[in-house]
Amino acid sequence: MPILQVIVLAIVQGLTEFLPISSTAHLYLSSWLLGWKPEALDFDIALHMGTLLAVLIYFLPDWIQIVGQGLGMRLGHDDQLKHNHMLLWLLAIGSIPVGVAGLVFNKQAEGPWRNPYVMGTMLVVVGIVMWIAERQGRVVRDMGSLNLPDSIVVGLSQMLAIIPGTSRSGITISAGLFRDFTRETAARFSFLLSTPAIAAAAAKALYDMHKQGGLGGILNSTFLVGVGVSAATGCAVIAWFLQYLRRGGLRPFVYYRLIFGIIVLALAFFRRPAG
């Protein structure tokens, strides 16, 4: 894969994985519109590893505190997390639905659903859901008040993320807003909840590559650049987005999704995706 394509797609992954605009749709459509061949499995692993590193690095202090408190230790200084010693187990429970959905619908998500008609439709539909959530949410609750019903609702919403064009962050942040979380809290819980799912996706990709002949060939310049660029971009996006949500809302992303989704559907009627 040319290094320019590696850098472009790694930046696209880092930008769109954590913003509520769908990384899968942007990666697929970038390659489709630019006439690039679909990414190889080793590059898919690099992108997953990069975004996993981004969320682990940025939220490392949170994870240390969450895991420590879940095991009965007093770690960390975040006041909101101190008031929720069960957060580790709530994250574990919330991760179950997407794991089940991935096992059941993985072939559809990687096959027939990965087309511009599905992606364009989901861009629009989830954009409307985000708009309703933005209007209906009372934005009054923080991480300290997160409970089992919250974990189940947000976890169930994450199941939809396996459908290309949905956006994991878009649908889970919307679910958090429907549960009256502040925007920043909804995004923070969304990113924490995404960590096991991204790790599982990376592990599956590694296993698939192992079955195809081993992992010895992945430590090359393409892999390392893909990991590094997507991780660095992802960390920057997480930091910016959480800061933005302290004062701004989801409306710009709603408009973006609606316009982009309509463009994707229009293009799909006039241009066939490359095989």
Beta carbons of 187 and 248 less than 8 angstroms apart = no
Distance CA 59, CA 48 (A): 17
Q: Are 222 and 45 in contact (CB under 8 A)?
A: no
Domain ranges of the chain: 3-270
% of the chain with per-residue pLDDT over 70: 94
pLDDT of residue 38: 65
How far apart (Å, rounded) are the C-alpha atoms in residues 252 and 236? 19
More confident residue, 90 or 34: 90
- Tens digits of residue pLDDT in 68-77: 999 988 888 8
For residue 76, give the amino acid letter: G
How far is the CA of 211 from the CAs of 41, 146, 175, in angstroms?
12, 40, 37
Alpha-carbon gap, residue 54 to 236, rounded angstroms:
9
Question: Phi and psi for 141 in degrees, rounded to 5?
Answer: -105, 150
Enumerate residues 6+ apart whose C-beta is below 8 A from 235.
54, 57, 58
Give pLDDT, residue 275: 47
Pair of tokens at residue 198? 């991204």
Of 37 and 164, the one with more pLDDT: 164
What is d(CA 272, CA 147) in angstroms, rounded to the nearest whole number? Answer: 46
* Cross-strand pairs, 141: 181
pLDDT tens for residues 226-257?
899 999 999 999 999 999 999 999 999 999 99
Q: Which SS3 state, helix, strand or coil, does residue 10 take? A: helix
Tokens of 264: 């994707």
Query: What is residue 94's three-state secondary structure?
Result: helix
Burial of 211 (0-12, 13-18, 19+ CB in 10 A): exposed
Say how far apart CA 57 and CA 232 lie, in whole Å.
10
Strand, coil or helix: 186: helix
Q: Nearest to residue 28, comparing CAs of 208, 187, 260?
A: 260
Per-residue b or e along 32-58, where b marks 16 or more CB atoms closer than 10 Å to that residue's CB: beeeeeebeebbbbbbbbbbbbbbeeb
pLDDT digits (tens, 9 = 90+) for 76-135: 888 999 999 999 999 999 999 999 999 899 889 888 998 899 999 999 999 999 999 999
- Give the Cα separation of 273 and 116 in Å (integer): 8
CA 125 to chain centre: 17
What percentage of residues in the chain have a pLDDT greater than 90?
A: 68
